[in-house]
Amino acid sequence: MSSTKIQIRGQPLSKVLTRNHGMINSVVCGVPIKRHHRVSNVLRTSDPPLGSVPTRTDESQFLRGDGNGRFGRFGGKFVPETLMSPLRDLEDEFNFVLNDHEFQEELTTALRDYVGRETPLYFAGRLTEHYKNISQTTGGGPEIYLKREDLSHCGSHKINNALGQAMIARRLACGGSNRSRSTWGRHGGCLCEVLHAVFMGTADIEKQSSNVLSMKLLGAQVKSVEGTFKDASSEAIRNWVGNLETTYYLSGTVVGPHPSPLMVREFQSVIGKGTRRQAKQLWGGKPDVLVACVGSGSNALGLFHEFGDEDVRLVGVEAAGLGLDSGKHSATLAVGDVGVYHGSMSYLLQDDQGQILKPHSIGVGLEYPGVGPEISFLKESGRAEFYTATDQEAVQACMLLSRLEGIIPALEASHALAFLDKLVPTLRDGAKVVVNCSGRGDKDLDTLNQRGMPSSLC
């Protein structure tokens, strides 16, 4: 994974939009915290039982929080005072563009003509038949659909948010909607556009060499940082804090101080909105179950948010890595505690002293030691269900979908597909299941080759 700093320099906006299978994922979030404050101990839980739709405790908090980036006790702005003014300016600009016709029209056009939206809602007929056969159901079994975010330009859902925030960065460079107050506009002009530098962990550079090459081809400065995504994020934070006058902080996932998680959720909500329209067209209703992988949470919230106040099951699947007992996993919601990291309060992987633990997943996009505040709230309120899948289960699911449907999913999305083994037998015949295929798997071919082809699929 990587972290991204967008500089206000004379380079075209298109250079922000690199090939992105999750590469622009949570930039410069908050403050370079070296001591991670542990807020409280909570009960450690394993996978919950498969059940019916949980009850949400507070509709207004689920939909919008309290307006200040809080979802229950989660979220907030845990940052130095020097960052409060830039964050307030960003929040003002974001609130303005939400209802600005010119901005929304430009964004809609770019999503259609550049990103390639609306992505298909694809009936996975052979996968549906596969689960019907192994479940030995006498009826038709549940119907499985894939939301094909892997078909977005650059190969994943990440571009939805990267595009929206890049447009905001350009506006701020020109002075923003409030020309007199924008911190980022002071040294920019309306002709200034955007160049980004990508901070990326050395471990992730090694795993995703094709993405690194693509980013360099598109003009990005790829700056290696010893470690993984969390280390790259911290380094990008330090860089941002030292250059507030000339840099924009583009958060690629739903973490960091307010308004970053809310912005990402809002730009990614096109996934769920499209799913609703397509479900209406395909079968005249809405899905029964939505399934998405959960690293920090952007693709899951993008799918879930549209259906938050309805009787639709929301199922998130975390990375169990080598197993929850191994200590090598990224299952924050399954075994994590509540604390503060990268500028907000959420569930985290941390030790008894509140020090952040190193996460692990075969899907590097899930390899983060925390989740966003709204995802944390969905767990604590009971509105969504969260389970886990191991590295091996994800690899098997990836190969199964490739063989049956001719679609190679990213290893991140494969965690959601893996959970179908446990989910499908519990569902009624005819239930409509939508799995967010959040990215394509060509970036993971080297990893799959190293793992070898399971004999069951040869």
Residues of the chain with pLDDT under 70: 1-64, 137-138, 176-196, 452-458
Inter-CA distances, 281 with 17, 39, 249, 265, 278, Å: 31, 46, 38, 25, 5
Count, residues in the chain: 458
State both tokens at 11: 């380079």
Question: Residue 165 in contact with residue 263, Cβ under 8 Å?
Answer: yes
Give residue 63's pLDDT: 52
Instruction: Specify the pLDDT at position 108.
Output: 97
- Calculate ∠ Cα 238-244-248, nearest 5°: 90
Question: Would you state the pLDDT for residue 50?
Answer: 52
Q: State residue 399's pLDDT score.
A: 96
**Reported CATH class of domain 118-154+269-457:** alpha beta
The fold of the 2-34+78-112+156-265 domain, in CATH, is Rossmann fold (3.40.50)
Distance, in Å, from the CA atom of 167 to the CA atom of 164, rounded to the nearest integer, reads 5
Q: What is the pLDDT of residue 272?
A: 98
pTM of the entire predicted model: 0.83
Residue ranges, comma separated, of all CATH 3.40.50.1100 domains in the chain are 2-34+78-112+156-265, 118-154+269-457
Residue 347 sits at φ, ψ, to 5 deg, of -75, 140
Retrieve residue 355's tokens: 């020090």
